[in-house]
Amino acid sequence: MRSGYDFVIAGGGVVGASVAFHLAELSDASVALFDRGEVCGGGTGRSCAIVRSHYSVASNTALTLRSLDVFRDFRGALGEDDVECGFVNSGYLILAGPGAFADRLADNLARQRELGADTSPIGRAEALEVHPWLELEGVAAIGWEPASGYADPVATTRGYVTAARRRGVAVFEHTPVERLRLAPAGGPSMGRVTGVATPGGTVEAGCVVSAVGPWTRGLYAGSGLPDDAIDALRLEVSRHVVLTFGGASPYGPELPIVKDLTVDNKMYFRPADGGVVLVGTGDFGDPLADPDRMTAAAPRDLVALQRAQVGARMPAFKGARLTGSWVGPYDITPDWNPVLGPAPGLPGLYLAYGFSGHGFKLAPAIGRCVAQSLLGEAPDIDLAPYRRERFSEEALLLGAYGVGSIS
Ligand SMILES: Cc1cc2nc3c(=O)[nH]c(=O)nc-3n(C[C@H](O)[C@H](O)[C@H](O)COP(=O)(O)OP(=O)(O)OC[C@H]3O[C@@H](n4cnc5c(N)ncnc54)[C@H](O)[C@@H]3O)c2cc1C
């Protein structure tokens, strides 16, 4: 390990890995990436990795369209012929019940088309053509994205890390950033961040990028930052349970992803390995004080609810057997959108956290835009809307369907 780097990145999830790759791709800067465990050991490794463009915040759609191009040609985008992202182009259906959500869905589809998304409203017959297993009771509006799909989050992140290493990034696994190193404060500043402390010694940095997701509050606390600085992150963490169900016949990988806005928990489902259907929810989940104390249990009432909801939407899954489950952490800000930008009051620190349940699909484009910003270039897509100050400026990036990942 060298004594210093131009950029030190804390956190080797898909966001940190993408930022590391793009910094090395775009510049000759020296870059080091640290993860306390193996890369992809956080939320990314638990992700359902759905890649769709349906959002109501325009910059989210713009970012995801850029990312979708990367997922569709991962090797070309990374300039490597032996990396994989496992993208499956299944398509994506979004269903809304009668009333406000149906109107907002129609409105969103029109606005996304203006931004270049391949998406359109379709009728029941067309929906049943692409997904014959569906029962469309209670559905008043349907959106269809033929180009969307899902990927392999671990392969994607490892692909970025491999490509970053080949461009000179020093990757340190099992090496936690124990704390941010702070120079004495001056003026309104809490002190300049000059580097990080690790078990292998201190590492100086021109800039530290914090990409530790659900562990961001812990990194601040461990660095001795005051409670008001930690509270100003406006970050909550929750536990999300993903279930898989098996039916009488295998659920094929060619079937589209379905997002169901007709149910309160905004359920989504997609095919998964082994011919099962994977089911998750778009609600807050269970509040979690410490992301390291996440129980793996799938509550019985949740299993019963999801079995009933999936069975109602796909009668072939009525009374389906539970075949598996896992849990993962969401890092949630007040508007469910990420914070990207210099840390207020802490020069030398750049923040990238708060991706809640939708950061995987944004990461390729965000990694490039963050790297461009760090290098003093104009990013392809303006990241100013994601500044942390938006929380105190009442400039929240609110979604059309209320709080949740489709924001
Ligand atoms: C169940 C679930 C389903 C999801 N489904 C989707 C989906 O379908 N589509 C989608 O787009 N998004 C989805 N998401 C969200 C998406 O996966 C996340 O937003 C994204 O992966 C976050 O990446 P990250 O790099 O910010 O954080 P993480 O992947 O959590 O990475 C943070 C890293 O920081 C490391 N770390 C922590 N503390 C330290 C320290 N002190 N020093 C060094 N390293 C440290 C951790 O080990 C970890 O590897 C889902 C998330 C979950 C949990």
User: Could you identify the atom of ligand 1 that is nearest to the CA of residue 328?
Assistant: 53
Residue 228: burial class (beta carbons within 10 Å; 0-12, 13-18, 19+): exposed
Ligand 1 atom with least separation from CA of 41: 49
Q: Which atom of ligand 1 is nearest to the CA of 327?
A: 1
Over residues 368-394, the pLDDT tens digits come to 999 999 999 999 999 999 999 999 999
Tell me the angle at which helices 153-166 and 359-374 cross, rounded to the nearest 10 degrees. Answer: 20
Q: What is the pLDDT of residue 134?
A: 98
- The Å distance, Cα 249 to ligand 1 centre, comes to 33
Test site for ligand 1: of 360, 366, 386, most ligand atoms within 8 A of the Cβ: 360
The overall longest dimension of the chain from CA atoms, in Å, is: 67
How much distance in Å is there from the Cα of 127 to the middle of ligand 1?
32
**159: which residues sit within 8 A by CB, 6+ positions away?**
74, 78, 80, 83, 84, 85
CA of 290 to the centre of ligand 1 (A): 15
List, for residues 168-194, the tens digit of each pLDDT value.
999 999 999 999 999 987 777 788 999
- What proportion of the chain, given as a percentage, has pLDDT over 70? 100
Give the pLDDT score at 299: 94
Q: Give me ligand 1 centre to Cα 8, in Å.
A: 18
| 254 pLDDT more than 90 | no
**Cβ < 6 A, ligand 1 pocket:** 10-16, 34-37, 41-44, 46-50, 176-177, 211-215, 219, 240, 242, 280, 328-330, 355, 357-361
Question: What Cα–Cα distance (Å) separates residue 42 from each residue in 197, 310, 327?
Answer: 21, 28, 11
Judged by DSSP in three states, 256 sits in: coil
Tens-digit pLDDT profile for residues 288-341: 999 999 999 999 999 999 999 999 999 999 999 999 999 999 999 999 999 999
- Residue 407: pLDDT band (50, 70, 90) is confident
Question: How is 343-399 classified by DSSP, letter by letter?
Answer: PTT-TTEEEEE--TT-HHHHHHHHHHHHHHHHTTSPPSS--GGG-GGGGTTT-----
Q: Which atom of ligand 1 is nearest to the CA of 222?
A: 41
Helix boundaries (H) for 210-267? 216-222, 227-231
d(CA 216, ligand 1 centre) in Å? 11
Are 321 and 245 in contact by the 8 Å Cβ rule? The answer is yes
- Tell me what the mean pLDDT of segment 144-166 comes to: 98
Q: How far does residue 361's CA lie from ligand 1's centre (Å)? A: 12
Which one-letter DSSP state was computed for residue 146?
Answer: T
d(CA 65, CA 145): 12
- The answer on pLDDT for 262 being more than 80 is yes
User: Domains of the chain by range and CATH?
Assistant: 4-50+154-235+335-391 (3.50.50.60), 90-147+236-332 (3.30.9.10)
Relative to the CA of 178, which ligand 1 atom is closest?
41
Ligand 1 atom closest to 45 (CA): 29
Rounded to the nearest whole angstrom, what is the distance from the C-alpha of residue 132 to the centroid of ligand 1?
33
For residue 218, pLDDT beyond 80: yes
CA angle, residues 97, 100, 103, in degrees to nearest 5:
85
Note the pTM of the prediction, 2 decimals: 0.98
Across 140-157, average pLDDT: 98
Nearest CA to ligand 1 atom 52: 47
Task: Quote the mean pLDDT of the chain.
Answer: 96
Q: How many CB atoms lie within 10 A of CB 20?
A: 31
CA-nearest residue, atom 14 of ligand 1: 357
Closest CA to ligand 1's atom 25: 13
pLDDT of residue 97: 96
Q: Which atom of ligand 1 is nearest to the CA of 241?
A: 1
Model pLDDT, residue 222: 97
Closest approach atom of ligand 1 to CA 353: 26
Task: Compute, in angstroms, the gap from residue 136 CA to the centroid of ligand 1.
Answer: 33
The DSSP-derived string for 105-135 is HHHHHHHHHHTT---EE--HHHHHHH-TT--
Distances (CA, A) of 33 to 30, 36, 172, 193, 342: 10, 10, 6, 16, 18
Task: Give distance in angstroms: CA of 311 to centre of ligand 1.
Answer: 30
Please give the number of the atom of ligand 1 that sits closest to the Cα of 214: 30
Residue partners of 8: CB distance under 8 A and separation at least 6: 31, 32, 34, 177, 195, 196, 203, 205, 207, 208, 209
Q: Is 30 helix (H, G, I), strand (E, B) or coil?
A: coil
Question: Is 90 exceeded by the pLDDT of residue 404?
Answer: no
Least reliable range by pLDDT among 5-19, 201-215, 393-407? 393-407
Q: How far is the CA of 229 from the centre of ligand 1 (A)?
A: 22
The reported pLDDT for the residue numbered 1 is: 83
In the reported structure, the alpha carbon of residue 398 is separated from the centroid of ligand 1 by a whole-number distance in angstroms of 21
